[in-house]
């Protein structure tokens, strides 16, 4: 469902206003990949953090989705507490 929402955004709103993302991959592609790789909860948080960095005074350049999360960030998702976050 999240993939469909992101793809709809990419094909509609993003296409109308133009692409102004300062990063590669774009913020919407980053969020889609992060959700696919780390699940809805953790990937969504990673994507939101990325969107918050995408402004004129923020970061720019190549910023890939991490393959694995740092140890300090593990254990805080609903999946680690017994909920399946990919549903």
Q: Where are the domains of the chain?
A: 20-58
Residues in the chain, total: 87
C-alpha 32/C-alpha 5 separation (Å) is 10
3-43, pLDDT tens digit by residue? Answer: 788 888 777 877 677 667 777 888 888 999 999 998 989 88
Q: What is the pLDDT of residues 65-79, one digit of tens each?
A: 888 877 665 555 555
pTM of the model: 0.70
Residue 6, helix vs strand vs coil: helix
């Amino acid at each position: 469902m999240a993939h469909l929402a992101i793809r709809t955004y990419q094909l509609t709103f993003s296409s109308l206003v133009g692409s102004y993302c300062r990063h590669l991959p774009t913020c919407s592609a980053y969020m889609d990949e992060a959700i696919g790789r780390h699940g809805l909860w953790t990937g969504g948080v990673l994507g939101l953090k990325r969107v918050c960095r995408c402004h004129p005074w923020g970061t720019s350049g190549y910023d890939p989705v991490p393959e694995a999360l740092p140890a300090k960030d593990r254990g805080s998702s609903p999946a680690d507490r017994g909920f399946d976050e990919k549903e």
